[in-house]
Chain A
Amino acid sequence: MTPAVIDDTTLYAVLAPFAAAVVAPFLTRLLKHNAAWPLALVPALIFLHFVGFIEPVSRGETFVAAKAWAPSYGINFSVYVDGLSTLFGLLISGIGTFIILYAGGYLKGHPQQGRFFSFLFMFMGAMLGLVLGNNLISLFIFWELTSITSFLLIGFDHLRAASRRAAIQALVVTGGGGLALLAGFILIISATGEIEMSVLLGSPDIIKDSGLYLPIFLLVLGGAFTKSAQFPFHFWLPNAMEAPTPVSAYLHSATMVKAGVYMLMRMHPLLGDTVLWTTVLPLFGGVTLLVGTILAVRQTDLKLMLAYTTVASLGLLVMLTGTSHEKALEGAVLYLLAHSLFKGALFMVAGTIDHEAGTRDVTKLGGLRKAMPVTFVAACLAALSMAGLPPFIGFIAKEVLYYGTSNIGDLGQLGVIITIVAVIGNALMLVIAAAVAMKPFFGPKVDTPKQAHEGPVLLIAGPVVLSVIGIILGLIAHTTGILFVGPTLSSLLGEFKQIDLHLIPTEPTPVILSFTTVGLGIALFTQLDKLRDFTASVLKAIGWGPDQGFDQFVSGIVRFATWLTRLLQTGKMQTYMLLTFFFTALAVLLPGYLTNSFPAMPKLPEYRFYEWGILLIAVLGLFAILVARTRLTAIVSLGVQGFAVALIFMMFGAPDLSFTQFMVETLSVVILALVMTRLNLSPRDHRTVPARLLAGVVAVAVGLGLGLTLLSITQQPFDSTLSVFFTEFSRSIAHGRNIVNVILVDFRGFDTLGEIAVVVLAGLCVLALIRVRTKPDTVLDPPPERTGQSQNAEAR
């Protein structure tokens, strides 16, 4: 079905959060934390906009809208609205609304709260652009933008080293994966000639038939697996918990980490249902599920427990998407929806507990149910959904996915293995859900660092609403199926499907599997402490993980760079110069020698006496360099030769060039002389005679080579197209009579812009080099902090 073209409102919906990001700091300065209320209107309105799509999309309609961006490269800012993107759009804007409110309460009084809102909104816009992206290139840009905003948010508390490390780690892993994705997209574009996702989806076999399927598959996987924290790239996600809790709830559970899953789901019609797909994805997804749940059991920090179950859930989603089985995919969609709701809520609960009780270590929490009744209820509702108990949406998700995995006929043994992995994973998930929801609230009251009491409305609105939606969606299962799950599943399958969901299970197998899961989960929960000690000791025995691997990788790169630099940069200026000039000589002389095309000796014109005079000055200058006793004399003599050349330019009608040459020569002499005195070089040249001879030979070769090259250039027929053009148009187009200047600032101004940028950079580098040699105590104009430090050091 061809997508219908709609107006630009959806494009503005994507851009609206960026506008909010600009306004947020000012509004926060004005209204303090209450700025959250008006700011939350932005995502709320976006949410309402997407609500309008629910009904037509559930009838199988799709929509596109586009604005030209760089049309000469086929790059547009375009959106594609179908079941999958509507679901994601609703989740991002809906959960986003409550996250903004929550951030208002959580960071109340924080001096940088405005900046925090700003980052959150930028992320929101990037994420919307990603899930709605139709044009592959603009989709990629939003993809990278989510990595960058995630970096900013994880590193928000930038004074702590752990935050900075986690931020850089997340950026390196997800950004690196992003580059793989870009390569994959470029391959798709070159293999198919199409750049719009909606067009690609119109002919599903286009990539599979192109012969580039394997590299495209691997590269897209590289992007998706890093973003969605699949083993062995999972380590950045738990570390990202350094971010303030609103970020963990929003980016690192409900939305951003799902971008990888989104990409796999989006690409499923194009890349899915091949042997490769149904082998690789379930394998990595399954391993991630088990690793994630096992690591979660070990933790005692509420946020880390939730973070590892997020890793596990992402593994489950990838595993299910990898089966390419209709029912299992339906389970994946349901689980995606359920997970976003309960995990977002649970993270906010964990943050509220942390905020009100002062700790989020489960072993130090207990008996909070009386002090925080609303949070307690929200936590229970979300945890029950996570545990997969009726009548929550999580229960239906689990029923459907069990039905799917246990019915994968054509995968044979693999279906059984996937089902077993899913059961174990879900049982462990139940353990964590129980631990998170029960431990802090039940049992005797434990003394916490702060006197715990119920959080303010801003903090509890999110968890309550999200967890209640979790139960409502479960109760109206049939409608949920028609409005949300069916359309999304249609996107995954590439054909319109309507599904019929029931809260009451009709098949026997999933019910049995569910009972097994719950039984296993409860059994494991009673042994939680033993389980925790056991996994801790196993992990200690292994002693190495990808997290350390990342550090080793980074330090390895640094060491390699140092080694390579040492190899290439000996630090001896003379060696650099000699090598540079040697190869210059080779480059200008060798082609002439090989092709035997040295220029003919030109006929010397009749020189006038003053022309001879200038030539004589130049030669005298050169001679003076050779016989100079001190280096300073040599430098000045070089200037003499340069001035002579400037005079020659002047005589042959190039005043601009000559002018510049004069100045450059003057400044070169001044700066070289200054460098000499600055570096405390000995006034004389102490090189040995052979070294001097070698340098002399190379110098003569370069001079000869350049001279010959110039001669052969002047002996070519002169193409005057450019000169004619410039002479003709310099006055009429550019209003200038000085052609040289007009070329520099107008006709080729873009080149000049690049050149002056180089000049600025070179200036900065030279300045840095000079500063390096200066000892701190002789810095003339030291920054104030530094003075303070050195004074302190002296005082000690």
Chain B
Amino acid sequence: MRTVIFRTIAPYLAALMVLFSIFVLLRGHNEPGGGFIGGLIAASALAIFGIACGVASVRRAIVFHPMGISGFGLFIGALAGVVSFFRGQAFMTSQWLIFDFFDVEVALSTPLVFDIGVYLVVVGAIGSIALALEERESD
């Protein structure tokens, strides 16, 4: 698998995939996409990078342990549900903050935060499994 072409192109490919996954994540509310699918794309980016350049460099690149990323995702996902408590509403009632930023309508919301949580959970969990499985090959 470790041909020169693959090894050279893999970092760029992985970077593009991560970028694309974030795009997919953010457009999810109105167009096809969302946290789950975005997470899967990013996880496959990690897997490809790992196959091409070794697991150690992936671990260095993402800084945190993938399971830690996953746990953090679950945490902010749950936290997004708590926000509504402060307005006396039931758990996970969505809260929206819509404002104009240089004439562009920006919509920030707790479902978005929650979706980012889903994204991180999926990247972390799937990425962690893939990396752990790839690890043997590199040693």
Residues of A whose CB lies within 8 Å of any CB of B are 655-656, 659-660, 663-664, 666-667, 670-671, 674-675, 677-678, 734-738, 740-742, 744-746, 749-750, 752-753, 756-757, 759-760, 762-764, 766-767, 770-771, 774, 778, 780-781
Contact = CB atoms under 8 A, between A and B. Distances in A.
A101 to B, nearest CB: 38
B34 A663 contact: no
Contacts of A745: 28-29, 34-35, 111-112, 114-115, 118
Q: Which 10 A-B pairs have the closest CB atoms?
A: A763-B125, A663-B40, A674-B133, A655-B32, A736-B29, A737-B30, A756-B121, A741-B34, A745-B111, A770-B132
Nearest to A761: B125
A734 B111 contact: yes
B34 A740 contact: yes
B129 to A, nearest CB: 5
6 contacts: A671-B129, A674-B134, A738-B34, A752-B114, A756-B74, A762-B125
Interface string B105-139: 00101011011011001101110111011111101
B11 interface: no
Contacts of A774: 136
Contacts, number: 146
Given A663-B40, A780-B135, A763 B114 contact: no
A678 B109 CA distance: 42
Interface string B32-73: 111111001101100100000001100100000011001101
Nearest to A655: B32
A753 B78 contact: yes
A760 B96 CA distance: 27
A663 B37 contact: yes
Contacts of B70: 759-760, 763
A663 B41 contact: yes
Contacts of B91: 750
B114 A659 contact: no
A666 B59 CA distance: 22
A511 B30 CA distance: 89
Contacts of B117: 756
A771 B135 CA distance: 11
B40 A735 contact: no
Nearest to A677: B137
B95 to A, nearest CB: 11
A66 B139 CA distance: 64
B37 to A, nearest CB: 5
Contacts of B74: 756-757, 760
A760 B134 CA distance: 19
A202 B23 CA distance: 65
Interface residues of B, number: 55
B49 to A, nearest CB: 12
A742 B40 contact: no
Given A741-B34, A750-B91, A762-B125, A756 B133 contact: no
Contact of B67 (A674, A750, A757, A764): A764
Contacts of A675: 133
B16 to A, nearest CB: 15
A749 B111 contact: yes
Contact of A778 (B28, B29, B139): B139
B103 interface: no
B133 A770 contact: yes
A750 B92 contact: yes
Contact of B126 (A660, A667, A677, A735): A667
Q: Is the interface of A mostly helix, strand, loop or mixed?
A: helix
B36 A735 contact: no
A733 to B, nearest CB: 8
B67 A671 contact: no
Given A738-B30, A749-B114, A656 B129 contact: no
B128 A753 contact: no
B130 A741 contact: no
A276 B87 CA distance: 53
Contacts of A750: 81, 91-92
A735 B109 contact: yes
Contacts of B133: 671, 674-675, 678, 770
Contacts of B77: 752-753, 756
Given A677-B137, A752-B118, A760 B44 contact: no
Contacts of A749: 81, 92, 94, 111, 114
A686 B75 CA distance: 45
A766 B135 CA distance: 14
Nearest to A781: B59
A448 to B, nearest CB: 52
A760 B121 contact: yes
Nearest to B74: A760
A533 B137 CA distance: 68
A737 B130 contact: no
Given A741-B34, A757-B74, A767-B67, A667 B94 contact: no
A321 B91 CA distance: 46
A762 B36 CA distance: 15
B100 interface: no
A767 B44 contact: no
Contacts of A735: 29, 96, 98, 107, 109
Given A667-B44, A745-B111, A759-B121, 11 more contacts: A656-B33, A663-B41, A667-B43, A674-B133, A738-B31, A740-B32, A746-B111, A756-B121, A760-B74, A760-B124, A780-B56
Contacts of B43: 667
A741 B129 contact: no
Given A663-B44, A667-B47, A736 B30 contact: yes
A671 to B, nearest CB: 6
A660 B47 contact: no
B127 to A, nearest CB: 9
A762 B139 CA distance: 26
Contacts of A736: 29-30, 111
B71 A664 contact: no
Residue from A737, A740, A746 whose CB has the most chain B CB atoms within 10 Å: A746
A675 B133 CA distance: 6
A461 to B, nearest CB: 43
B81 to A, nearest CB: 7
